[in-house]
A and B are shown apart, each in its own frame.
Chain A
Amino acid sequence: MDIKVLGTGCANCKATIALIDQIAQAKGVTVKLEKMEELRDIMAYGVMSTPGVVINGKVVHAGGIPSRDKIEHWLAAA
């Protein structure tokens, strides 16, 4: 599955990427994890509050580090 984390590079954005990566590895799910730091690209998704998470082209989360439960839920749905 294709996951993009939208964020200008702040601590919360980095923590979000690390958390998704860690949970995906623990669950043995293969994901393509990508960072989007360019403002223009972030705005194209209509996200105003970062970090945002886009899965397979759809915005599933915005404005803060997603909870562990939420990430597990996304990965389970794949």
Chain B
Amino acid sequence: MTTLSAPLKSWPSRQPIVFLILAAVAWLALYQTLNPAAEALVAALPVDRASHLGGALQFFLYDTPKVLLLLTGVVFVMGMINSYFTPERTRALLAGRSEGAANVMAASLGIVTPFCSCSAVPLFIGFVQAGVPLGVTFSFLISAPMVNEVALTLLFGMFGWKIALLYLGLGLGVAIVAGWVIGRLKMEAYLEDWVRDMPKMSAEFEATGMTLGDRIEGGFSAVREIVGKVWPYILGGIALGALIHGYVPQDFLASFMGRDAWWSVPLAVVIGVPMYTNAAGVIPIVQALLAKGAALGTVLAFMMSVIALSLPEMIILRKVLKVRLIATFVAVVASGILLVGFVFNAVL
């Protein structure tokens, strides 16, 4: 295995530009063949294309390779972009800025700065220690999980670029406004004492001399790590979505997830917060729900609350924040999500 993969790994590094061009061409060619391939596969099976089973199968056979292909492409590119934005560099960019514009910057950096969810707390302390204002730190922490490349790719793949952009804009909006509000509330006193008492430190960072080849390596390892981890969720989600597509009657969900039921948005948030799933499993199901009459605002609110506010994260944050600050954080973000849900149901 290692002897086989060693030369494969090294030629993209030696000829990075050639590799990127060839990879892009191969990817596009593959993408073009998806729909004909899925139809041909269903036609080859002894199933009526117009039947429930036929519909479910076509949905599964078309969506699975499409989503996985899109995800691999986007995660690879994001892995390369991520290598420009280490957490240390992001902190240096944000240190000592005043609120307002810095909230916008922090929310945007949240999208491109890589860190695993268990680093949220060390990151939080590191930011506060270096003099990044509390509200700006929160803008970063809210946008980072909510606007991630997996969620955006799935939304783009299953709903098109309009919904994906909308979600991007709304996610950034909630992160910016919620962070700003938390900053205005002057809640520094509700950091745990040992965090407040930590010595202040400078936010310098060493620039790493990475080549384009190194960044391609970063793209590969992001694909291995992220796509390797989420594909079972995507498969499960798409399979469940396919069943809903094929078998749940039209407009069945409209009665309790439709836009006429005003209480459906808060209910979606209340159900969403304690759930700990990731975007990869939720979005394929969401697509099927929408087709069966659920309202977009309700569904978006559900998705955002599942991704942005999770119980395990709150428990980890408790190590550095006092209960009152955590409660404020949840309340502010949940209100933002509620507002998004109501506005969408009213407008669309």
Interface: B30 (CB within 8 A): no
Min C-beta distance of A36 to chain B, whole Å:
11
Which residue, A7, A50, A65, has most C-beta atoms of chain B within 10 A? A50
Q: CB distance B121 to A39 under 8 Å?
A: yes
Q: CB distance B121 to A8 under 8 Å?
A: yes
Q: Which residues of A contact B91 (CB under 8 A)?
A: 48
**Per-residue interface assignment for chain B, residues 198 to 235, with 1 indicating a CB less than 8 Å from any chain A CB and 0 otherwise:** 10010000000000000000000100010000000000
Interface: A40 (CB within 8 A): yes
Q: A39-B319, A40-B194, A43-B129 are in contact. Are A48 and B87 (CB under 8 A)?
A: yes
Interface: B241 (CB within 8 A): no
Q: A8-B316, A43-B122, A43-B125 are in contact. Are A67 and B114 (CB under 8 A)?
A: no
Q: A39-B319, A40-B194, A49-B87 are in contact. Are A64 and B116 (CB under 8 A)?
A: yes
Q: How far is the CA of A72 from the CA of B118 in the complex (A)?
A: 26
Of the candidates B87, B118, B125, the one whose C-beta lies within 8 Å of that of A7 is: B118
Interface: A10 (CB within 8 A): yes
Interface: A47 (CB within 8 A): yes
Chain B interface, DSSP helix/strand/loop, else mixed: helix
Q: Which residues of A contact B33 (CB under 8 A)?
A: none
Q: CB distance A10 to B114 under 8 Å?
A: no
Q: How far is the CA of A61 from the CA of B320 in the complex (A)?
A: 24
Q: How far is the CA of A50 from the CA of B225 in the complex (A)?
A: 15
Interface: B3 (CB within 8 A): no
Q: Which residues of B contact A43 (CB under 8 A)?
A: 122, 125-126, 129, 198
Chain A, 1-51, CB within 8 A of any chain B CB: 7-10, 12-13, 39-40, 42-43, 46-50
Q: Which B residues form the contact surface with A (CB < 8 A)? A: 86-88, 91, 114-119, 121-123, 125-127, 129, 194, 198, 201, 221, 225, 316, 319-320
What are 30 A-B contacts defined by CB distance under 8 Å? A8-B118, A8-B121, A8-B122, A8-B316, A9-B118, A10-B116, A10-B117, A12-B116, A39-B122, A40-B194, A42-B122, A43-B125, A46-B126, A48-B88, A48-B91, A48-B115, A48-B119, A48-B122, A48-B127, A49-B86, A49-B114, A49-B115, A49-B116, A49-B119, A49-B122, A50-B118, A50-B119, A63-B86, A63-B114, A64-B221
